[in-house]
């Protein structure tokens, strides 16, 4: 079926209602036909980007082969403890004091 070109036809803008040339109307994404001053492109927010998930595991992981720390040697500056060997002991210490006044 053939249609007329409409080069002399007049039409009404669906947005503003003004009469304009039929050939100047542009179709919008929502189905309206609008004049060039009323025509708006589709919002980019209507086309969200595909967000890929973050990878969570390694392809060929290398396990942790570290061993527990064994016996060690403690050196101090006082004579009776120079070169003392420790094994399985926990050492605690303190440095200075803190004073809080309100």
Number of domains in the chain: 1
| Predicted confidence (pLDDT) per residue in 5-24, tens digit | 888 999 999 999 999 999 99
Residue 15 domain-assigned (yes or no): yes
17 is in which domain, residue-wise? 10-42
pTM: 0.45
Residue 20 domain-assigned (yes or no): yes
Quickly state the pLDDT bin for 50 (edges 50, 70, 90).
confident
Cα 81 from Cα 73, distance rounded (Å)? 10
| Predicted confidence (pLDDT) per residue in 74-96, tens digit | 565 665 555 555 565 566 667 77
Residue 100 domain-assigned (yes or no): no
Cα 34 from Cα 27, distance rounded (Å)? 6
Q: Report the 10 Å Cβ neighbour count for 27.
A: 11
Residue 63 domain-assigned (yes or no): no
Residue 14 domain-assigned (yes or no): yes
The encoded tokens of residue 47 equal: 């086309």
Residue 30 domain-assigned (yes or no): yes
């Amino acid at each position: 079926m053939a249609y007329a070109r409409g080069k002399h036809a007049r039409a009404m803008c669906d947005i503003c209602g003004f009469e304009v040339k039929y050939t100047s109307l542009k179709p919008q994404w929502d189905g309206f036909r609008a004049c060039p001053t009323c025509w708006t492109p589709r919002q980019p927010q209507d086309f969200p980007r595909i967000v890929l998930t973050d990878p969570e595991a390694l392809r060929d992981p290398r396990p942790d082969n570290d061993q527990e720390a064994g016996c060690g040697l403690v050196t101090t500056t006082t004579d009776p403890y120079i070169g003392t060997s420790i094994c399985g002991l926990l050492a605690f210490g303190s440095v200075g004091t803190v004073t809080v006044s309100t």
